[in-house]
């Protein structure tokens, strides 16, 4: 059993504490508010029994913690024994602004700072003390995840990108130490090229891999393609997160 404590100035958690409402496993789910870089971000933490590690989802442009694709992957990871954290990178008021201007979703520096802030917040959460942490990024969120991994190498033990734009991480790519898996749809030609270029920019000798899913478009909407990507993510996180963390 995992318990969450509210710590003044660090987190605010409501009493909506339910078991197994996101999948068929024995999973503790709780809605949280995360203080990150001076704003409160909403999220949901899901912890199965005896988790192998914790995966944070860094969503892409115009998305949120409600992304059905990320929720599907999160449920698959939970069934595979991983705790997950789905959270919004923007506040509700920022999302309203972004719907009109569409500029915040492409502010990769902002998204990376928010992601790093969530990683720092996890340091104060008892349920996460013993768990290695991975990042699962999609679209522009993949760049934010890689930038956060580069800035906080001791807090990120693996990264997976699905249909991501890792190239937007730019100068941070050679600094990424975490084992990184880039998953791209076979029909997503331009993004394949951008992922290949990003892979080349990552440091020599680091564990990095590009896997192309045949028949998949950018959003992995074709039958079976998202399931395949989720299985690839499970296998990568099993290799790198299964074990007690550094704390």
pLDDT tens-place string over residues 219-234? 999 999 999 999 999 9
Residue-level pLDDT at 51: 95
Roughly how many angstroms between the first and final C-alpha of the chain, as a whole number?
Answer: 19
Residue written as tokens 């679209």? 139
Question: What's the whole-number mean pLDDT along residues 166-181?
Answer: 97
Q: Is the pLDDT of residue 69 over 60?
A: yes
CA distances from 224 to 102, 132, 192 (A): 31, 29, 19
Q: Against a cut of 0.75, is the pTM above it?
A: yes
Point out which residues pair with 174 in neighbouring strands: none
Residue-level pLDDT at 23: 46
Between residues 19 and 143, which one has the greater pLDDT?
143
- Domain spans of the chain? 11-241
Bridge-based pairing state of the strands 39-48 and 83-87:
antiparallel
CA distances from 45 to 42, 79, 115, 181 (A): 10, 14, 15, 23
Q: Using CB atoms within 10 Å of the CB of residue 134, give its burial: 0 to 12 exposed, 13 to 18 middle, 19+ buried.
A: buried
Residue range 11-241, CATH number: 3.40.50.1820
Q: Is the pLDDT of residue 71 over 70?
A: yes
% of the chain beyond a pLDDT of 70: 85
* Contact present, 158 and 179 (Cβ < 8 Å): yes
Q: Is the pLDDT of residue 238 over 60?
A: yes
Question: What's the whole-number mean pLDDT along residues 49-78?
Answer: 85
């Amino acid at each position: 059993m995992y318990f969450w404590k509210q710590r003044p100035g660090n987190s605010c958690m409501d009493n909506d504490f339910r078991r197994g409402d996101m999948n068929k496993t024995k999973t503790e789910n709780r809605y949280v508010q995360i203080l990150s870089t001076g704003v409160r971000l909403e999220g949901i933490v899901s912890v199965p029994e005896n988790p192998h590690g914790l995966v944070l989802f860094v969503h892409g442009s115009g998305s949120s913690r409600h992304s059905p694709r990320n929720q599907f992957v999160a449920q698959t990871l939970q069934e595979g024994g991983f705790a997950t954290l789905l959270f919004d990178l923007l506040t509700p008021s920022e999302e309203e602004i972004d719907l009109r201007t569409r500029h915040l979703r492409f502010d990769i520096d902002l998204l990376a700072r928010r992601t790093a802030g969530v990683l720092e917040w996890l340091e104060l959460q008892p349920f996460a003390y013993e768990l290695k942490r991975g990042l699962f990024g999609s679209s522009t969120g993949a760049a934010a995840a890689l930038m956060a991994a580069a800035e906080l190498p001791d807090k990120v033990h693996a990264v997976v990108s699905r249909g991501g734009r890792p190239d937007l991480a730019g100068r941070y790519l050679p600094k990424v130490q975490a084992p990184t898996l880039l998953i791209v749809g076979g029909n997503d030609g331009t993004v394949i090229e951008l992922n290949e270029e990003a892979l080349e920019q990552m440091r020599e000798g680091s564990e990095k891999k590009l896997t192309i899913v045949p028949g998949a478009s950018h959003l992995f909407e074709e039958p079976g393609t998202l399931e395949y990507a989720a299985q690839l993510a499970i296998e990568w996180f099993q290799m790198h997160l299964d074990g007690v963390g550094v704390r």
